[in-house]
Amino acid sequence: MKIIRTTSAMADWSRCLHREGVTIGFVPTMGALHEGHRALIRAARLACDAVVVSIFVNPTQFGPSEDLTKYPRQLRLDQALCRREGVDVIFAPTVETMYPAGAQTVVTVPRIACRWEGHARPHHFQGVATVVTKLLSLVQPDKTWFGQKDYQQAALVQQLVKDLNLPGHPIVHPTVRESDGLALSSRNIYLSRSERQAAPVLYRALQAGAGAIRAGERNGPRIQRHMARVAAAEPLASVDYLAVCDPTTLDPLSTLHRRAVLLGALRIGKVRLLDNLLISVRRTT
Ligand code: AMP
């Protein structure tokens, strides 16, 4: 397994492999790898000849009061996991090689980025769109894996790749969860014991929304209220949003027709938890 630190070495490596007809699968991450990341790596390993995992805590997607300096960094452990999973390259660039002095270009995906996470974290998606554009240009993957856990991010990347004709054909992998439903996340380690016990409330709230839909409810605001009631019962949780949305535009739905995504974000202690459920709406006759 190779560790590449510079953008030029990454681009050279990909160019050589493509010349030999090798297909490249790519999993972009910020490191502190867990079973969710492992699932994406395994899917890439199965589908492509070579696998690249990037580990880069991208400063431009963190707001000034966010946890950039505290974000968990554990390259040694991440290397061991990647080696076990048969990863060919870890691309772990320095901030200086990704953003050399004088860099000024940014990428925005205005419609998808404006709501939900974009509202809570104003420059977050511009940072994500810019770094993903750079990573895809450097790695030149045939396929790229993203997690459904970050639903809005995956939707934004799909739009970005389509709009800018970028390489990398994004594939969205289902969310990997703990046995009590909590979506795995590198930030879960910051939950205290009592907060960890409270954390599955987000998944339960989304499940309550899904249950209401299964029972025939088609009114968006009423489904939203079902979810809010469940979340309100947990005193440690403060809801940022619980929403019933169109799966492509992420606009809120007043009435459900075919498909919907239930999006949720809440704060427990210092940790912001995100989750979602994608729902196929059966016709009621
Ligand atoms: P991160 O390192 O948190 O930026 O995540 C890197 C990639 O892993 C993103 O595409 C995430 O959506 C994905 N990911 C993170 N957690 C999970 C999870 N629990 N299940 C599936 N994918 C995940």
Q: Tell me how far the alpha carbon of residue 188 lies from the centroid of ligand 1, in angstroms.
A: 12
Question: Which atom of ligand 1 is the closest one to the Cα of 34?
Answer: 16
Quickly list DSSP for 59-80. GGGS-TTSSTTTS---HHHHHH
Return d(Cα 147, Cα 69) in angstroms, integer.
Answer: 24
As a whole number of angstroms, the distance between CA 51 and CA 23 comes to: 9
Q: Is 200 in the pocket of ligand 1 (CB under 6 A)?
A: no
Domains of the chain in start order, with CATH, are 2-173 (3.40.50.620), 186-280 (3.30.1300.10)
As beta bridge partners, residue 278 has 261
Cβ of 171 less than 6 Å from ligand 1: no
With the most atoms of ligand 1 within 8 angstroms of its CB, the residue from 26, 27, 29, 145 to mutate is 29
Question: Which residues carry out catalysis?
Answer: 37
Q: What is the pLDDT of residues 218-234, one digit of tens each?
A: 999 999 999 999 999 99
Q: What is the pLDDT of residues 40-52, one digit of tens each?
A: 999 999 999 999 9
- Categorize the per-residue pLDDT at 106 as very low, low, confident or very high, splitting at 50, 70 and 90: very high
* Residue 107 · residue 160 · CB < 8 Å: yes
User: Closest Cα to atom 19, ligand 1: which residue?
Assistant: 184
Dist. CA 143–CA 226, nearest whole Å: 38
For 241, the 3-state DSSP assignment is strand
Ligand 1 centroid – CA 99 distance (Å): 23
152 lines ligand 1 (CB under 6 A): no
In the chain, the percentage of residues whose pLDDT exceeds 90 is 97
